[in-house]
Amino acid sequence: MTRLRFNIASLVSCVFVAFTIVLWLATFVVSPWHHYASFTQHFHVSVWSGNTGDTLGRLVIFNSADYGPYIGSSISRPDSDVEFGDTFGIYYRYFHWQSYGTLWTLMLSLWYPLILFSILPGVWIFRRWYLRGKNNVG
């Protein structure tokens, strides 16, 4: 039963690897300012090819469909702000104004989900290879 669960989890993880590759391909034609999936009024998800030097693109999560994801253009001075990035493929900006409201953006390199979802299929392949080699000896 444990082996069956592991095989199913590996298969699901492999599907997510394929989905991540599809997202990477979408970065060539999708702009997060024009193409995004809205889950609520203040939660939108898209992909972006990123700045020059990004090799796999980014998953972009943001709250304002009117403004789109914030990527560093000049905006008026907020009442409060939190910044992180662009470090190790993670970028986060949060701005709050009394008059306007809140604007936030989180970008995550697609390398993170690709590596994370590749672990179980990699272990599955290694176990199959290792066990096959062990059974063929002697």
**Which residue in this structure is represented by tokens 């392949």?**
125
Tokens of 47: 């992909």
Take residue 10 and report the two structure tokens written for it. Answer: 């590996």
Whose CA is closest to 6, among 118, 117, 120, 114? 120
pLDDT digits (tens, 9 = 90+) for 63-85: 999 888 988 765 677 777 888 87
Average pLDDT over residues 105-120: 95
Q: What is the pTM of this model?
A: 0.81
Taking the C-alpha atoms of residue 87 and residue 71, their distance in angstroms, rounded to an integer, is 14
